[in-house]
Structure 1
Amino acid sequence: MTNQALYSQISAKWNNSFNRLNRGEPGISGLLSFSQAWRTATAFLYPQDLNDPSSYKEYSIQDVRASFDTLSKSKMLPLLMENFLENMRQQQYLVERDIQKYMTEYEAAGSAEAIGRLLFRLVDWYKAWSPIPELGTTLLSAYTLAFQTYIYSSFPPSFSRGFKDLIASTFDLVNASCPPPWALPSEPQASTSAAPPRPDLPLWTACETLGLLDRYESLIASVCYEYIEAHVLNTCAKKWDDSMLVCLREWMAEKVVPWMVMPYARGARNAEEARSMLQGVGSRFDYHVCKTLCDLRTQEIFDIIIDYPDSQPALQDLKECLARVDQRSELVTTLRKANKKRLLHPGADTKDILTQYVSIIRCLRLIDPPGVLLYKVADPIRKYLRERPDTIRCIVASLVGDGESGDSLVDENEPIQPLQQKQADDFADANWEPEPIDAGPNFRTNRPTDVISTLVSIYDSKDLFVKELQVLLAQRLLAVTDGNYERERRNIEILKIRFGEAALQVCEVMLRDMTDSRRIDQHVQQQKPMPLHPTIVSRHFWPPLQTSSFNMPGQFKEIQDAYAKEFHIFKPDKKLHWLPHLGTISLEIELQDRTINAEVPPLEAAIIELFSSKDTWDVAELAAEMKVDKTAAIKALLTWMDLGVLKEEDVNHYKLLEVAEEAPAGTKTVSRPAVVIEEVSAVLTVQRQQAEQMKVYWNFIEGMLTNLGALSLQRIQGMLKFASGYDRTIEQLAEFMEAARREGLVTVKDGMWKLHR
């Protein structure tokens, strides 16, 4: 029963197949015609060897079409396609042989011409083996897929590099009028009668035929990326005085966009359609232009800031690029590293650091008006400047225009405005905006915008600046010799705007003292003309002055007493306290054979005055007479020795030379090093004032450590706050205690300080 059923099924299938192949013809005539059609079709489709012309056979196209029609009616085209693809697989070695030939040529010479010729040869193979269109798109698609798969599997690893070189060479062919070097004479594009509009058109056509545009899409894009990068680096590096982004986009429109038409918009029928097809890829390439320029400017940012304001166009480009590519974090990281390496080190002058910091402020506010970038970059700079002892003085010097230092920090065009302080956010403000998304937790949008407020905000309090202002103005006022205080008066008015009226009251008193001093001197001179013109200041309103005392001898003492007497008559409720070590004295020294004019400090004048009573003095005698130390006396004596007034007869014994000595003939004159007179400021600096005040508190610290034993720094700080006038930070106390340790006064172990026994 089972065998009968199987026999019936096989018989039915046999009859169906016979009827399909015989197509209802009488006998087996249909089967015979099918067999002939199969032989003709398979022979026609069999992949021939292009390198062997003898293998070609001419076929009548009518017979071929009739054969395909017969096979189609017999529903044998799928089997024909399988047979054709199998034959292709068996003949693939012919294509591989040519691939190996051209790739060997490329690897030997390294020239992309071999890759170009290879692609055209593969197109020839593709066309030679391609089935006729009458077979339908199904067979053609299957053939194309199989052919491309075969050649991709045959490409060696070096093909990608060669294909990349070939694509890169097409940039030079966009506007070329001559054929490319890889074009063969037999190819249509080399014909003068049918020359294509662009010499690279045949290559892109071959790439499209072989499916290389889709398979190597990222590689083709990378070629354009590298082309853009090379152009940006060659044309924009270290060129900061012009806006380069506009020029780059013009270059893209002239050079890159025409090239893009071939790989990305070859099928466009008009300009509008091409523009639409290029929009997406064009946006990617424009993004890469901005990214490359942004990377370049990020690497150059430190030098760009140094070159500001000449580099402002480069900063504008960077601002636009950052809005496009958002590489803000890379900019912050790069600039912070550059600052640490090139700026924040002991070899850099504080003034140079401040100058660069001000440039950073202005440049980063131009790039990022909300100030997030500035906040992230400036934090290490501000911490480093706080550790420098002369930072405040440099900033204050710029405020009052002290020499050259004021020109680099204060912009003359920047409006003078009060110091800006941090304020709470006003959420009722209609123009309020939230903080930027990349702002840190400590960032505030209402941070100071002017440079001076930003510099002053380095420190928690402006009191330090006010004290330094008082010291600097005192020095400048005392240095004025012509009585013209208009510049200082203007500085004080400007500082009033910045720091407020109350903070500058002491400075106004100092300025008034200078004018009153000249008026008092004029009155005293009218009553009794004297060669002494002192500067009279109010002790309680001026910063502490340098303290030193010695006895002014002879006529100098008489002149001082006479002046003090006339002053007391004019101001009976006040008394002069002389500071004899400050100021200068103009002397005319009359000797037997010469007269010497000199302008020297009071101590030097007092020393030479003593020689009017005795020609020879011992250093110890001079120091005892003047009540100064020997070092100061020797420095004063060296001044007169350098002028040829005194002579050292013996060790520490000096004699007045009434008659100048001449060196004996034939002796070599021994040159004496020039005496360098140190210009000592009359006003104590803030650091010196703080050091002197801390010495007062040492008695308290010593008493604590004596009575309570070892104490921590926090405990000492807490107890010192009960002392009158103590306002030091724990960091300043730590510096003082460390200095005391170096002097051997205290020791520290595990954070506990105790007196050194």
Structure 2
Amino acid sequence: MAHILEMQVQSKWNNSFTRLNRGEPGIAGLLSFSQAWKTATGFLYPRDLNDPAPRPEYSIHEVRTSFELLSKAKMLPLLMENFLEDMRKQQHLIERDIHKYMAEYEETDTPDAIARMLFRLVEWYKAWSPIPELGSILLSAYTLAFQTHIYSTFPPSFSRGFKQLIASTFSLVNASCPPPWALPADPQPSTSAAPARPDLPLWSACEALGLLDRYESLIASVCYEYIEAHVMETCAKKWEESMLTYLREWMAEKVVPWMVMPYARGARTAEEARQMLQGVGSRFDYHVCKTLCDLRLQEIFDIIVDFPDSQPALEDLKECLIRVDQRSELVRTLRKANKKRLLHPGADTQVILNQYVSIMRCLRFLDPPGVLLYKVADPIRKYLRERPDTIRCIVANLVGDGESEDSIVDENEPIQPLQQRQADDYNDPNWEPEPIDAGPDFRTNKPTDVISTLVSIYDSKDLFVKELQVLLAQRLLAVTDGNYEKERRNIEILKIRFGEAALQVCEVMLRDMTDSRRIDQHVQAQKPMPLHPTIISRHFWPPLQTSSFNMPGQFKEIQDAYAKEFHQFKPDKKLHWLPHLGTISLDIELQDRTVSAEVPPLEAAIIEHFSTKDTWGVADLATEMKIERAAALKAIMTWVDLGVLKEEDSGMYKLLEVAEAASSSSKPVARPVIEDLPSVLTVQQQQAEQMKVFWKFIEGMLTNLGALSLVRIQNMLKFAPGYDRTIDQLAEFMEAARREGLVTVKDGAWKLQR
């Protein structure tokens, strides 16, 4: 066994010797191989650039001959391993320079030190690099080993410094003079042509060191941040012009020339460069759109407030959304902004409606099918349903009370009937499926005009019709010159929107106003009187505010005389006076002066009582006229302000037949603030009054049947005349009764409080 092993070793030794000696006599071939090895390793040995001693000179012919001999002897792999090992041992020389430049950078925090370090590393790379004649395999192995060694030596702060250095190159694209690091350490003679761009040496160094591939994402992030900074600086709060076109022009002028160096340095023609930049250019254009989209989404609430002046910003956003697809982010951002800035008690209902209308118009422009609007509008619609004055605000805009800049009705929009939701017609050749991001409850054919959308907040348009009747009644009663053309025009418009059947009551009210003037003219022709009443049909008008007092003295006589003449003209009808409504023009003749005033009937009735007695107490007047003390005091204060009455003792007032001189020392007396009630009951007040009637039914049920569920109460109330409330409205009423201590609830059963 040992003999066989000895023979194998002997055979391999003979083969190796033969290969190295190349068949020459003796050991001549071996000696020439040894000399070739010495020449090759000495030529490849990594030298110290900081060593001032001159580098040994080698004949290139001798070096090539040596490499050819080693190649024939199949020793090149061993030579490569030896060279790479020498590189590893000399790596400390490069590390020393790296540590020196990085220490300088960390001290100054400027990228100049990083640039000089890269140029120095290129010098090391070129100094240790084998000549190309030695083959690409050796050069590739050397390059890989060199880059691996320097990457492992870079400290963590190198990435930050390299990023700063790349960022500084943006200002060099059109620079007139190069920065300090743009020239090599040993400047070229003045006869040498300067590079076309100051940053060319830097990109060449990065390519030689393999940094462009290794730090590709970092280089791209620098460009991304540069784009983001420019977009934020130039586009924030600028909504009156399209910025996307400007940004793309800026990209073509500033960013694309910069991109040529890191992404298309190898291009030989402009067309080749364009093809090389196409992919990365698309990525950067995408980032421009995304950055602008993010900015506009942050500003979306204010953009909608500024609409239509912000139309160009919406056009940019529409294009960006197609490119970037941040529709869900738009919905989330706008809903959050609406909740914070709009849907709270401090916002006026008219303001909320205005913003909702602007949201409708803006989101319809961004997304015609209406998916975005459906998702954003849902919280707004729910919040508006809970506000008691929402219907009143919408109706006020419909009949022209919203003619200010805050009006939600656009005069340019055509007047059209309310749109109702319709079922999908799958036989329609133009039918399209719903968008992919639509929710399960979304319908493409929802109302698109503003009024139909606002009315659709509620399940029934009957609430709007009732509010229309109330508001029209208030407006008609406020007309003093007999010109009802504006109200007549409003009714015609509302007929188009709500239908003629819904506006029949309003037509009756308008006809009452004209008939009232005709009746008054007839009565005045029979017997001239200073009274000009408005006569209405009680069953066709909303309930009016009632009062228990009657006009005294001469006012009462005038009313009776007018009622007598009216009864002769209309024998089948009878007047029921509402003395607290209207105005009275009167002259008060005193000893030294005559005071003219136009006041409500209550003030006139108050001063009429002073014609029978000069001094009255507030409590006595309130009792005499069957009104509240606060109302009496308010009426008295009107005449105090006019200098007709004067307060003598607390609560006692005297008629001033002779005016008193104004005293400069007299202090103003604090007046009670009492709001004037509207002449017509609002829909909420009408419902509250009706529920007081229905409470008697509820009280009787709970007394006779004991505890009942809300559903049982609702079903039984349906038999009550005129009951049309929903179970939710009943629940609100029962909860209010519980707070007042009238009922209690336990396990869903309501019973009377004992």
TM-score band by shorter chain is over 0.9
CA distance in 2, matches of 1:249, 1:724: 71
Letter paired with 2:118: L
CA distance in 2, matches of 1:243, 1:192: 49
Matched, 1:717 2:714: yes
Matched, 1:41 2:40: yes
Partner residue of 2:256?
Answer: 257
Aligned partner of residue 538 in structure 2, secondary structure: coil
Match runs of 1:366-381 below 5 Å: 366-381=365-380
Match runs of 1:282-321 below 5 Å: 282-321=281-320
Match runs of 1:346-385 below 5 Å: 346-385=345-384
Matched, 1:631 2:630: yes
Which is further off, 645-654 or 216-225?
Answer: 645-654
Which is further off, 597-606 or 622-631?
Answer: 622-631
Partner residue of 1:24?
Answer: 23
Match runs of 1:311-710 below 5 Å: 311-404=310-403, 407-662=406-661, 668-673=665-670, 678-710=675-707
Residues 704 and 262 of structure 1: is their aligned pair in 2 closer, same or farther, counting only changes over 3 Å? same
CA distance in 2, matches of 1:422, 1:498: 15
Letter paired with 1:11: Q
Letter paired with 1:218: S
CA distance in 1, matches of 2:583, 2:230: 67
Q: Deviations over 1:591-648 (max 9, x none)?
A: 1111000111112112222222333334454344433343333332222222222234
CA contact (8 A) 1:174 1:199 kept: yes
CA contact (8 A) 1:639 1:675 kept: no
Residues 197 and 643 of structure 1: is their aligned pair in 2 closer, same or farther, counting only changes over 3 Å? same
RMSD (Å) for aligned C-alpha atoms: 1.8
CA distance in 1, matches of 2:745, 2:190: 95
Deviation (angstroms), 1:188: 6.3
Match runs of 1:62-461 below 5 Å: 62-184=61-183, 186=185, 193-404=192-403, 407-461=406-460
Deviation (angstroms), 1:732: 1.9
Deviation (angstroms), 1:66: 1.1
CA distance in 1, matches of 2:294, 2:390: 33
> 731, 734, 739: which one pairs with 1:737?
734
CA distance in 2, matches of 1:109, 1:677: 74
Which is further off, 313-322 or 746-755?
Answer: 746-755
CA distance in 1, matches of 2:672, 2:196: 86
CA distance in 2, matches of 1:206, 1:267: 14
CA distance in 1, matches of 2:672, 2:322: 62
TM-score (norm 1): 0.97
CA distance in 2, matches of 1:259, 1:629: 84
Deviation (angstroms), 1:737: 1.9
CA distance in 2, matches of 1:180, 1:350: 61
Q: Deviations over 1:678-709 (max 9, x none)?
A: 43211110010000000000001111221222
Aligned partner of residue 294 in structure 2, secondary structure: helix
Paired residues in the alignment total 754
Letter paired with 1:627: K
Letter paired with 2:443: R
Letter paired with 1:745: L
Deviation (angstroms), 1:186: 4.1
Deviation (angstroms), 1:401: 1.3
Which is further off, 571-580 or 74-83?
Answer: 571-580
TM-score (norm 2): 0.97
Residues 511 and 663 of structure 1: is their aligned pair in 2 closer, same or farther, counting only changes over 3 Å? closer
CA contact (8 A) 1:710 1:752 kept: yes
Q: Deviations over 1:263-319 (max 9, x none)?
A: 001111111111111111011101111111111111111111111111111111111
CA contact (8 A) 1:49 1:55 kept: no
Matched, 1:726 2:723: yes
Residues 663 and 203 of structure 1: is their aligned pair in 2 closer, same or farther, counting only changes over 3 Å? closer
Letter paired with 1:326: D
CA contact (8 A) 1:397 1:405 kept: no
Deviation (angstroms), 1:183: 2.7
Deviation (angstroms), 1:408: 2.5
Letter paired with 1:134: E
CA distance in 1, matches of 2:548, 2:15: 135
Letter paired with 2:535: I
CA contact (8 A) 1:397 1:472 kept: yes
CA distance in 1, matches of 2:75, 2:666: 124
CA distance in 1, matches of 2:744, 2:180: 85
CA contact (8 A) 1:720 1:726 kept: yes
CA contact (8 A) 1:551 1:625 kept: no
CA contact (8 A) 1:351 1:405 kept: no
CA distance in 1, matches of 2:42, 2:433: 78
CA contact (8 A) 2:614 2:655 kept: yes
Letter paired with 2:167: A
Which is further off, 122-131 or 574-583?
Answer: 574-583
Which is further off, 409-418 or 609-618?
Answer: 609-618
CA contact (8 A) 2:182 2:199 kept: no
Q: Deviations over 1:714-755 (max 9, x none)?
A: 332232222222111223222222322232222334443222
CA contact (8 A) 1:188 1:195 kept: no
CA contact (8 A) 1:401 1:407 kept: no
CA distance in 1, matches of 2:742, 2:190: 100
CA distance in 2, matches of 1:631, 1:335: 48
Deviation (angstroms), 1:24: 2.1
Residues 179 and 652 of structure 1: is their aligned pair in 2 closer, same or farther, counting only changes over 3 Å? closer
Unaligned runs of 5+ in 2: none
Residues 606 and 113 of structure 1: is their aligned pair in 2 closer, same or farther, counting only changes over 3 Å? same
CA distance in 2, matches of 1:385, 1:153: 64
Aligned partner of residue 654 in structure 1, secondary structure: strand
Aligned partner of residue 599 in structure 1, secondary structure: strand
Letter paired with 1:507: C
Letter paired with 1:693: Q
Residues 192 and 437 of structure 1: is their aligned pair in 2 closer, same or farther, counting only changes over 3 Å? farther
CA contact (8 A) 1:102 1:118 kept: yes
Deviation (angstroms), 1:677: 6.5
Residues 544 and 190 of structure 1: is their aligned pair in 2 closer, same or farther, counting only changes over 3 Å? farther
Aligned partner of residue 182 in structure 1, secondary structure: helix
Aligned partner of residue 534 in structure 1, secondary structure: coil
Letter paired with 1:718: N
Which is further off, 567-576 or 533-542?
Answer: 567-576
Residues 591 and 676 of structure 1: is their aligned pair in 2 closer, same or farther, counting only changes over 3 Å? farther
CA contact (8 A) 2:119 2:184 kept: no
Deviation (angstroms), 1:676: 5.5
CA contact (8 A) 1:702 1:755 kept: yes
Deviation (angstroms), 1:347: 0.9
Unaligned runs of 5+ in 1: none
CA contact (8 A) 1:184 1:190 kept: no
Deviation (angstroms), 1:540: 1.1
Deviation (angstroms), 1:4: 3.5
CA contact (8 A) 2:350 2:406 kept: no
